[in-house]
């Protein structure tokens, strides 16, 4: 799911909103959205009902690329847990700051 969207992020730091993937959580749906203004990638998946209020998180593409590298040979689910201005990915434990 991440690999299907992170490719569309921009490397241009002068436009930070385009350097990340937007995680949109609404009930039992998780949408990942990314764009570098030339490409648009949207991935939607049903997930276990979210135990937290619906919210949006802009996660840096660089952090997601590192997550993909670390999980390359792993199988199973990754649990996402929001905490303040961070998302914690449980399968491995990775902390990343969120974009404003």
HEC sequence for the chain:
CCHHHHCCCCCCCCCHHHCEEEEEEECCEEEEEEECCCCEEEEEEECCCCCCCCEEEEEEHHHHHHHHHHCCCCCCCCEEEEECCEEEEECCEEEEECCC
What pLDDT, on a 0 to 100 scale, did the predictor assign at position 52?
Answer: 61
pLDDT digits (tens, 9 = 90+) for 40-64: 999 998 887 766 666 788 999 998 9
Range in 5-19, 27-41, 65-79, 81-95 the model is least confident about? 81-95
Looking up residue 28, the CATH number of its domain turns out to be: 3.10.150.10
Over 70: is that where the pLDDT of 86 sits? yes
Give the total number of structural domains in the chain. 1
The residue that leads in pLDDT, 59 or 85, is: 59
**What's the whole-number average pLDDT of the chain?**
83
Average pLDDT in the 27-50 region? 88
* Host domain of residue 31: 3-97
């Amino acid at each position: 799911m991440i690999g299907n969207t992170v490719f569309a992020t921009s490397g241009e730091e002068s436009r930070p909103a385009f350097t990340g993937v937007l995680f949109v959580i609404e009930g039992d749906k998780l949408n990942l959205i990314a764009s570098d203004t030339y490409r648009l990638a949207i991935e939607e998946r049903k997930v276990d009902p979210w135990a937290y209020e619906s919210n949006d998180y802009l996660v840096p593409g660089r952090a997601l690329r590192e997550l993909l590298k670390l999980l390359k040979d792993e199988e199973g689910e990754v649990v996402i847990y929001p905490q303040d201005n961070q998302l914690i990915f449980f399968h491995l434990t990775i902390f990343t700051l969120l974009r404003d």
